[in-house]
Amino acid sequence: MKVVGYKNHEIAKKINIHPLTIGRELKRNSGKTTGSYIPIWADNYAKDRRVTQSKNANKKLTKELQILVEKYLKKDWSPE
């Protein structure tokens, strides 16, 4: 729709989402070199970000802390 000249608010209205969502999607997932939005590339960019984020998600939970938490949970201590 963008290629044929629709504005973000027009696209958003047609697919029933907020116009800012369109802008964020286009900005976040447009080609790094071409600057154009290609859906298959956008999907790949999103998958790459998801993998990177999941790798960083548990940085605070070290192996040592995990062992300690499990130890106290087995003693019926509260998770808090």
Q: Which residue has the tokens 């998770």?
A: 79
Residues 13-71: pLDDT tens digits? 999 999 999 999 988 888 777 778 888 888 888 888 888 777 666 677 888 988 999 99
DSSP 17: S
Beta carbons of 22 and 8 less than 8 angstroms apart: yes
Spatial separation of the C-alpha atoms in residues 6 and 12, rounded to whole Å: 10
Spatial separation of the C-alpha atoms in residues 62 and 13, rounded to whole Å: 46
- The predicted pLDDT at position 62 comes to 84
What is the phi/psi pair of residue 39, to 5°? -50, -45
Beta carbons of 15 and 2 less than 8 angstroms apart: no
**pTM for this one?**
0.55
Domain ranges of the chain: 8-74
